[in-house]
Structure 1
Amino acid sequence: MSQGSAVLSVLGEFVVDLIPDLAGDAGPEGTAPHYIARPGGNALNVAVAAGRLGAPVRLLARLGSGPLAASLRRHAELSGVALDGLIAATEPVSLAVVGLSPDGSADYGFHVLGAADWQWTDDELAAVYGDAHGILHVGSISSWTPPGTDAIARLVARLDEDGGTLISVDPNLRPMLADGPVGASLGNSAAAVRERLDRLVARADVVKVSAEDLEWLEPATTDLDEAAAAWARRGPELVLLTDGGSPLRVARPGRPVRHVPIPRVTVADTVGAGDSLAAALLSGLLEAGVTTRAALEALDDERLGAILDDAALVAALNCTRVGADPPTRAELAAARSSH
């Protein structure tokens, strides 16, 4: 695909989230709970959130087979996401069963063995990425699960060496898929996943990582400020460390760690909050013309601060709704004026 202007390319997986319908009747014995099938997955969520914010965005994903595939595609289309980067795959769509705690935080059970998302090849990635330029966002399960993880790493390495694309990475870990019996069935182990993520982070310009992911990756971590600064010293120019509703930690090499407060809202659930944050950040950088490492290094703290404030607000607004349901550009503008 030929791209005349800079675009946000999001590479990753489709996942159907089965979210409990807490108002639904579970039957006389309570054994037939209701679930709502919602389109999800890190890449789809980021692309949809960016599209709703008006960013030029394209989704690079392997769309699996089965009756749920059409709704995944339509969900992206409705948010203005370009779908020229889709591969029609014969493997099944990934499925996540979501559990919600009283505070709205999510737990997941995954049904993903043999799913379409992990099967990327070099030829497929070359075909869907084409000569696009701007920002590439990778992360989550497809970025650290074989066999596609190696092809994704090679694409990131090539773009990093070319120097004309801003590279964003979000580990977005799912521990049960990264280690243990389920992880092993996918070809994953804790050591292998850490090594695969290390090579991506070393090439990244922007990294978003959650405190929850950090706890898994670096169990000895006790000081989140120091952890954010340490990640910035590993190669990225900008590191965002999220910690639920606590302030966002922002680290850049050689500068003090900044704290960006998250607006207070009534939380329905937190599904897709981190993805919405990443999408708003990358959309803001794209709008500011920041599409290379050099441009990001030159970005002043005031302009970056305004972009981060918007990103925090987008994430908060997403949390006021059930599932990954980020706001539109107009909704962001309205909320910005009220805050």
Structure 2
Amino acid sequence: MAERPLIAVGGENLVDYVNRDGIVTAFPGGSPFNVAMALGRLGANVQYISPISSDRWGDMLARALTESSVILAGGRRPEPTTMARVTVTAGIPSYNFERKGTAERMVTEASLRAALSDAAQAIHTGSLTLTDGADAEAWETFCAACFDRGMVVSLDPNVRLSVISDIEGYRARILRMCRRTHLLKLSDEDLTGLFPDLAQAAAIALLRNVTTAPVVVLTKGKNGVSAWLDDVRIDLPAAKVTGLADTVGAGDTFTATLLAGLAELGALSPTGLETLTPDALTALLRRANIAAAFNCTREGCNPPTRDELEAALHQEA
């Protein structure tokens, strides 16, 4: 059996401190963190290259990754863990982030290069990691270098304008990064955040004209998903959610399932993506849809294992 390709993931790790109708619970989270956890549960070979705090919340985060078979490559830091105060209303979360001076932001281009395994074939990042500061600049430079050396670069901007002070500078960074990306996944809300003055069709057309990504995926919640493989468009309905708990981590589970599927197909390389067919991508998107729907049946980001996903796919067939 061929060795599984190594996927590197980096970006914010945090604790979702969730208030749901007055009941408070704490979950490990952060969009890239969730992607790494979901990849590990699906049986992918994955390393997480961002640092994690050595405080008690960091212990919880590190344990969640190692229990999901993720390699911790970013080390531990004495700075505190980032906190996300989450209020869930009708299953939909709203966030307030406390990130100043936290451990996951203590990165430089050099530290990221040092954490990255030479065997890694892909790098995924996005979300709060790219909002502002020296760490966002380091991530942009690092990802550009990964692209130039022939690694697959996967980007999910996960736009959160409410926490960004320099919105135009942020938008410019995301668009620069789109020019050195192979897999671009974003939600319809992200698209609106990037192009607030454009209708969806015009915004996605502009984005596809900007990006180098041969695969662009737009998730639209209950309206399903649209994807473009070069000039071929694919549309799928949303997968049915039986017993909605919340939508936390659904998009991250989707992204991880798509990355894991590309790895299993042997398509997780720039040349491999060139051979990807619309039928193959459609099957991967369907799988990712069902994984995301499964995650929505459990509180917090709690992605399915490979066996759980296979059972859900069998039930849907």
Q: TM-score range by the shorter chain?
A: over 0.9
Match of 2:16? 17
1:30-41 paired onto structure 2 within 5 Å: 33-41=22-30
Alignment partner, residue 254 of structure 1: 231
> 1:173: how far off?
1.8
Q: CA deviation at 1:95?
A: 0.3
Give the Cα separation in 1 of the matches to 2:180 and 2:138. Answer: 14
- Compute the displacement of 1:270 (Å): 0.3
Amino acid aligned to 1:276: T
1:8 aligned partner? 7
Equivalence for 1:231: 207
Identify the residue that residue 263 of structure 1 maps to in structure 2: 239
Query: Is 1:101 the equivalent of 2:101?
Result: no
Deviates most, 290-299 or 308-317: 290-299
What is residue 68 of structure 2 aligned with on the other side? 79
The 1-side partners of 2:117 and 2:162 are apart by 34
Q: Check if 1:312 corresponds to 2:289.
A: yes
| CA-CA distance at 1:213 after TM superposition | 1.3
Q: In structure 2, how many angstroms separate the alpha carbons of the residues matched to 1:302 and 1:228?
A: 22
- Letter paired with 1:259: D
How do residues 178-327 of structure 1 correspond to structure 2 at under 5 angstroms? 178-179=164-165, 189-224=166-201, 226-234=202-210, 235-255=212-232, 257-265=233-241, 266-327=243-304
CA contact (8 A) 1:228 1:251 kept: no
Structure 1: gaps (5+ residues): 23-32, 180-188
Cα root mean square deviation, aligned? 1.5
Is 1:167 aligned with 2:186? no
Count of aligned pairs between the two proteins: 312
Q: Distance in 2 between matches of 1:279 and 1:38?
A: 19
User: How many angstroms apart in 1 are the aligned matches of 2:18 and 2:300?
Assistant: 7
**Aligned equivalent of 1:92, options 51, 58, 80:** 80
* TM-score after normalising by structure 1: 0.88
Q: CA 1:233 to 1:294, structure 2 compared with 1: closer, same or farther past 3 Å?
A: farther
Question: What displacement does 1:154 show?
Answer: 1.7
Rounded Cα–Cα distance in structure 2 between residues aligned with 1:5 and 1:322:
30
Q: How does 1:42-61 map to 2 (within 5 A)?
A: 42-61=31-50
Q: Does 1:333 align with 2:304?
A: no
Distance in 2 between residues matched to 1:19 and 1:231, nearest whole Å: 34
1:134 aligned onto 2:118: no
Amino acid at match of 2:25: I
Cα offset, 1:214, TM superposition: 1.4
What's the CA shift string for 1:175-213, capped at 9, x where partnerless?
22213xxxxxxxxx1011111111211100001111111
Gapped regions of structure 2 (runs ≥ 5): none
Counterpart-to-counterpart distance in 2, 1:223 and 1:34: 37
**One-letter code of the match for 2:63?**
R
